């Protein structure tokens, strides 16, 4: 008889907190667990949940079934504040596990009536432009309090101290949601902070997203011009009595030393003791408590600190600090022995230009923190009501800054890391690391485009393309489902979706393909990656509304044409001041998205059990696909505008009706990549798809060349330029070290990093074949340029891993399948996949790329491009003889000669209408021995 280990990681909804989970916002939290190990024969047939509630014997509920991810709450619903200790055990195939360790969940305030506190605001202090106010209350408590909770939120940011001790470790609370519809409150266990006798609760309020500057038009106070606090302290005394103390008009207000605070502009702090303090009264302000919601994801915290790697003087004499990593957070600085009132100023930038801080990309964001020192022997300077995106800082006002006195404090949503990738190529690994840092910097409570300039908004298109990567790297389910609730809340009555969520720019475009499609595609990704059917059901009305809206725009011919589109945004060939002028026709992009979104809505409805709706959208998707093929695809498989992005769309989203068309489209796509000299030519739309389109159409070698390209534009170009995050533009930093002249040049934008999903799923080979990775699809693409690659993911069922390694003509594959999941494994050279259950499996097969591919005897120009070694020599010779300036130019010249015999290659290279490039003869002399006559 085999053995099954006790379940671990018992979870409630998508909360990832260490035990206990406080303040959950639902009365019936779904449960998930992991079975860390089990005999091969184990299959879960039933599970038992033991629930221990206060004052009763534990209840055990037995449920028949194999589910272990997001199973329904099996007992009576929680009441507000109720705490339940849960244990799980599983059985099947004649085995039964021990009980898991207990996990505790405590409900938040589930009903509006639970709030006795009221929003309060200082009467006079804390107005716009005034120092940040502190709201304060003192109260007496009896001895021996057994339990104390603080529930709090604010209009603005808040930080609380109870008896001088910081409450919790959350930053920038309550975060940014669609405040008009949803305002998060936080729950804190403050049992250890209260004391018998007098207690003092003080709460600092900052401007944050509520009242600070948002968007590039200089506007602030988007949600209101008064900061306000809602706080409720609930205490249980030894005799079981509950005491409730809430914000009301008995509180007082005073000014803090924070003279100014803004997310974009930074914070100015006077550290000198306050004298002659003015105490202000507060008043209750009207606010709708029905908007209050508990968090779904983790809070923002300090996630790391990084030491300074260098302190140096700039050409102008400024003191600069390099942290070696572009990051999001702030600088913590130690100052010694300065006079009271002495000023220290810290400015930030992501890059240097001409050796000085490159602040132009920040646009109007000041990103400056300043301090007026108290004059103590040692003072630690750091802000708390702002954040910056930076790698470099300039420090003014401190002589002889020492590296050990400066550190960078990394701030972001404290997401649980769930995904890793490694390969034998250090550049590729650094690129992947840059994707991870890009995500960390842009997942600061909501998914943003960038973290540094006067923007930092929840751009829908950006997260639409990045969601698959995000869901692999970190547990993003709670974080993104919160944002999707905001999206649904802000979707307009006609179904259109604002460009940014929360919408503070009053999005001018009614509908932009790829951006609005976040409404359909982000929930679908989350369902694929987590198996959360509930989320899909919740979002379905929003998903349908979007598709109905764009189907309406398309009209009877099912082609979504006209109107202003962002299109394949930031195609590298687009002018730097017109990122929408992409090669891909915007109507082709829009219609492809309509087909894709309709398809996804149909499938989502099928999952949630609405067959009629499923059928309706599947039919719509079919009609759009037909229209697409009719209008944009030639019988031979050319797609309108003949750019890589349109082929990627057509191939990946099944928009080509016949095998023949698919075949030709794949070949055409590969040729376009060849003719770009294996450089990228896709923007936001094509970038997440092109690698799959190439691999899926049998062009892994071309995909590999594209991935490993280091010339500009390419993914690795930025890495060779020293990038430590993914850039907004392929050439945010130009090859000569100048910052791209475009007014939109962020060095920390995750969108183009979306290709990492391909690295995980296809290159390494770890993909979900069934929602939540209940079945793994293991189909690695062992590109010949690498000797190994691996991906590991903490799936909802537990750790899964795929790694491949080649040596001595053999390919070794190792696959780890968590208990509860299965895998279908595609081995090179075998037509049918192998199906395996949980456990660790290894295979050894002949390496399909073992043989060095020689150049064919009668090569075409295409063969020469494909033969990396020969091509490298051709390019080197063509550059040295002055026939072309670089690989990209060489490839472009050959575009129309790919089928020609290689004997024509030199003349083709030199053909520079109206004449021939100089250097042709020299090039012949250099290459004729290399290429067959």
Binding interface with ligand BGC (CB under 6 A): 449-450, 455, 459, 461-462, 566, 569, 744, 749
* Nearest CA-CA partner of 585 in 551, 548, 560, 549: 560
Minimal distance in Å, beta carbon 515 to ligand BGC?
Answer: 7
The smaller minimum CB distance to ligand BGC, of residues 350 and 379, is found at: 350
The smaller minimum CB distance to ligand BGC, of residues 227 and 744, is found at: 744
The smaller minimum CB distance to ligand BGC, of residues 546 and 569, is found at: 569
How many Å apart are CA 323 and CA 408, to the nearest integer?
7
Minimal distance in Å, beta carbon 79 to ligand BGC?
Answer: 43
Minimal distance in Å, beta carbon 73 to ligand BGC?
Answer: 38
DSSP-based helix, strand, coil % in the chain, nearest 5: 25, 30, 45
Minimal distance in Å, beta carbon 679 to ligand BGC?
Answer: 21
* Nearest CA-CA partner of 799 in 819, 823, 777, 781: 819
Running DSSP on this structure, what letter comes out for residue 170?
-
Q: Which of 234, 350, 455, 889 is catalytic?
A: 455
Minimal distance in Å, beta carbon 800 to ligand BGC?
Answer: 32
Write out the two tokens for 229: 């606090």
How many Å apart are CA 724 and CA 106, to the nearest integer?
40
Minimal distance in Å, beta carbon 548 to ligand BGC?
Answer: 24
Minimal distance in Å, beta carbon 245 to ligand BGC?
Answer: 44
How many Å apart are CA 580 and CA 221, to the nearest integer?
31
3-state SS record for 451-516: CCCCCCCCEHHHHHHHHHHHHHHECCHHHHHHHHHHHHHHCCCCCCCCCECCCCCCCCCCCCCCCC
Are the CB atoms for 261 and 269 separated by under 8 Å? no
Are the CB atoms for 270 and 241 separated by under 8 Å? no
What is the CB neighbour count within 10 angstroms for residue 563? Answer: 14
- Closest-approach residue to ligand BGC (CB): 449
Minimal distance in Å, beta carbon 727 to ligand BGC?
Answer: 11
How many Å apart are CA 920 and CA 282, to the nearest integer?
83
Cα three-residue angle 852-855-859, rounded to 5 degrees: 160
Q: Which of 283, 728, 887, 889 is catalytic?
A: 728
What is the CB neighbour count within 10 angstroms for residue 433? Answer: 15
SS3 assignment, position 860:
strand
Cα three-residue angle 421-480-212, rounded to 5 degrees: 115
Characterize 85-103 residue by residue with b for buried, 16 or more Cβ atoms within 10 angstroms of its Cβ, and e for exposed.
bbbbbbbbbebebeebebb
**Which residues have a Cβ under 8 Å from the Cβ of 853 and sit 6 or more positions away?**
867
The smaller minimum CB distance to ligand BGC, of residues 390 and 569, is found at: 569
The smaller minimum CB distance to ligand BGC, of residues 455 and 671, is found at: 455
* Nearest CA-CA partner of 931 in 847, 840, 863: 863
How many Å apart are CA 515 and CA 66, to the nearest integer?
38
Q: Is 858 exposed, middle or buried (0-12, 13-18, 19+ CB in 10 A)?
A: exposed
CA dist 125 → 205, 427, 575, 583 (Å): 11, 53, 49, 55
Minimal distance in Å, beta carbon 742 to ligand BGC?
Answer: 10
Cα three-residue angle 359-360-366, rounded to 5 degrees: 55
The smaller minimum CB distance to ligand BGC, of residues 592 and 821, is found at: 592
Are the CB atoms for 492 and 446 separated by under 8 Å? no
How many Å apart are CA 97 and CA 202, to the nearest integer?
48
The smaller minimum CB distance to ligand BGC, of residues 223 and 569, is found at: 569
The smaller minimum CB distance to ligand BGC, of residues 749 and 867, is found at: 749
3-state SS record for 798-839: EEEEEEEEEECCEEEEEEEECCCCEEEECCCCCCCCEEECCE
The smaller minimum CB distance to ligand BGC, of residues 442 and 661, is found at: 442
The smaller minimum CB distance to ligand BGC, of residues 569 and 715, is found at: 569
Minimal distance in Å, beta carbon 457 to ligand BGC?
Answer: 7
Minimal distance in Å, beta carbon 459 to ligand BGC?
Answer: 4
Q: For the chain, what is the radius of gyration of the CA atoms?
A: 30
Does residue 433 have an active-site annotation? no
Does residue 631 have an active-site annotation? no
The smaller minimum CB distance to ligand BGC, of residues 569 and 617, is found at: 569
How many Å apart are CA 129 and CA 126, to the nearest integer?
8
Minimal distance in Å, beta carbon 649 to ligand BGC?
Answer: 18
Minimal distance in Å, beta carbon 507 to ligand BGC?
Answer: 9
What is the CB neighbour count within 10 angstroms for residue 198? Answer: 10
Characterize 810-827 residue by residue with b for buried, 16 or more Cβ atoms within 10 angstroms of its Cβ, and e for exposed.
ebebebbbbbbbbbbbbb
The smaller minimum CB distance to ligand BGC, of residues 203 and 566, is found at: 566
Q: Is 588 exposed, middle or buried (0-12, 13-18, 19+ CB in 10 A)?
A: buried
The smaller minimum CB distance to ligand BGC, of residues 474 and 750, is found at: 750
How many Å apart are CA 902 and CA 893, to the nearest integer?
14
The residues that are catalytic are 455, 728
């Amino acid at each position: 008889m085999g053995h099954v280990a006790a379940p671990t990681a018992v979870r409630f909804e998508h909360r990832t907190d260490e035990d206990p989970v406080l303040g959950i916002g639902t009365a019936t939290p779904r449960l998930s667990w992991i079975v860390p190990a089990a005999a091969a024969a184990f299959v879960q047939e039933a599970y038992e949940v033991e629930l221990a509630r206060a004052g009763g014997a534990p209840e055990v509920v037995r449920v028949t079934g194999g589910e272990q991810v997001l199973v329904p709450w099996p007992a009576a619903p929680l009441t507000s504040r109720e705490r339940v200790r849960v244990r799980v055990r599983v059985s099947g195939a004649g085995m039964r596990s021990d009980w898991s360790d207990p996990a505790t969940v405590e409900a938040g305030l589930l009903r509006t009536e639970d709030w006795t506190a009221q929003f309060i605001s200082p009467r006079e202090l804390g107005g716009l432009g005034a120092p940040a106010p502190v709201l304060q209350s003192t109260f007496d408590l009896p001895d021996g309090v057994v339990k104390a909770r603080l529930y709090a939120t604010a209009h603005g940011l808040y930080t609380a101290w109870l008896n001088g001790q910081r409450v919790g470790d959350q930053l920038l609370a309550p975060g940014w949601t669609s405040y008009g519809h949803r305002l998060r409150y936080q729950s804190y266990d403050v049992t250890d902070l209260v004391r018998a006798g007098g207690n003092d609760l003080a709460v600092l309020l900052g401007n944050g997203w509520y009242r600070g500057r948002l968007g590039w038009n200089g506007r602030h106070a988007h949600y209101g011009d008064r900061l306000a606090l809602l706080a409720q302290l609930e205490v249980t005394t030894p005799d079981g009595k509950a005491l409730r103390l809430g914000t009301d008009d008995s509180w007082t207000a005073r000014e803090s030393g924070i003279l100014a605070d803004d997310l974009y502009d930074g914070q100015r702090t006077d550290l000198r003791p306050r004298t002659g303090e003015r105490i202000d009264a507060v008043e209750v302000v009207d606010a709708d408590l029905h908007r209050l919601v508990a968090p779904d994801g983790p809070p923002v915290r300090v996630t790391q600190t990084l030491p300074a790697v260098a302190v140096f003087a700039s050409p102008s004499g400024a003191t600069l600090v390099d942290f070696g990593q572009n990051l999001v957070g702030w600088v913590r600085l130690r100052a010694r022995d300065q006079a009271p009132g002495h000023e220290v100023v810290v400015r930030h930038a992501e890059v240097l230009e001409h050796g000085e801080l490159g602040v132009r990309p920040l646009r109007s964001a000041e990103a400056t923190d300043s301090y007026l020192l108290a004059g103590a022997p040692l003072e630690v300077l750091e802000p708390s009501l702002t954040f910056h995106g930076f790698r470099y800082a300039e420090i003014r006002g401190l002589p002889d800054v020492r590296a050990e006195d400066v550190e960078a404090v990394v701030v972001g949503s404290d997401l649980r890391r769930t995904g890793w990738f490694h390969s034998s190529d250090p550049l590729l690994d650094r690129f992947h690391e840059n994707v991870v840092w890009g995500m960390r910097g842009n997942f600061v409570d909501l998914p943003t485009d960038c973290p540094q300039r006067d923007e930092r908004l929840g751009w829908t298109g950006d997260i639409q393309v990045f969601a698959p990567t995000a869901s692999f790297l970190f547990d993003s389910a709670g974080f993104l489902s919160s944002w999707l609730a905001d999206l649904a809340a802000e979707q307009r009555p006609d179904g259109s979706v604002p460009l940014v969520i929360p919408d503070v720019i009053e999005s001018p475009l009614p509908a932009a393909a790829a951006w609005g499609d976040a409404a359909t595609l982000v929930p679908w990704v989350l369902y694929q990656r987590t198996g959360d059917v509930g989320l899909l059901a919740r979002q379905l009305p929003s998903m349908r509304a979007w598709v109905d809206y764009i189907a309406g725009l398309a009209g009877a011919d099912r082609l979504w044409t006209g109107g202003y589109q962002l299109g394949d945004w930031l195609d590298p060939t687009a002018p730097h001041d017109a990122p929408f002028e992409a090669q891909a026709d915007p109507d082709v992009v829009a219609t492809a998205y309509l087909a894709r979104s309709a398809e996804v809505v149909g499938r989502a409805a099928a999952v949630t059990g609405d067959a009629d709706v499923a059928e309706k959208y599947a039919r719509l998707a079919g009609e759009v696909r037909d229209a697409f093929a009719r209008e944009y695809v030639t019988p031979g498989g050319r797609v309108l505008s003949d750019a890589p992005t349109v082929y990627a769309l057509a191939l990946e989203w099944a928009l080509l009706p016949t095998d023949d068309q698919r075949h030709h489209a794949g070949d055409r796509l590969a040729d376009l990549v060849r003719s770009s000299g294996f450089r990228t030519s896709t923007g936001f739309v094509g970038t997440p798809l092109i690698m799959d389109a190439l691999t899926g159409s049998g062009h892994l070698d071309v995909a590999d060349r594209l991935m490993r390209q280091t010339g500009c534009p390419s993914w690795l170009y930025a890495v060779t330029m020293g990038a430590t995050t993914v850039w907004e533009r392929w050439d945010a930093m130009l090859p000569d070290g100048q910052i791209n002249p475009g007014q939109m040049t962020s060095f920390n934008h995750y969108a183009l990093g979306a290709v990492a999903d391909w690295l995980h799923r296809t290159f390494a080979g770890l993909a979900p074949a069934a929602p939540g990775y209940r079945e793994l699809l293991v189909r690695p693409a062992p590109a010949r340029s690498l000797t190994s690659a691996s991906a590991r993911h903490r799936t909802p069922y537990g750790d899964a891993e795929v790694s491949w390694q080649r040596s001595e003509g053999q390919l070794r594959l190792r696959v780890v399948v968590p208990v509860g999941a299965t895998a279908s494994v595609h081995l090179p050279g075998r037509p049918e996949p192998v199906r395996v259950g949980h456990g660790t499996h290894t295979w050894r097969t002949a390496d399909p790329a073992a043989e060095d591919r020689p150049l064919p005897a009668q090569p075409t120009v295409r063969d020469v491009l494909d033969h990396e070694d020969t091509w490298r020599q051709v390019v080197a010779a063509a550059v040295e003889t002055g026939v072309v300036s670089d690989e990209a130019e060489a490839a472009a010249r050959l575009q129309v000669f790919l089928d020609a015999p290689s004997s024509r290659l030199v003349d083709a290279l030199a053909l520079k209408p109206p004449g021939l490039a100089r250097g042709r003869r020299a090039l012949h002399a250099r290459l004729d021995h290399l290429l067959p006559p």
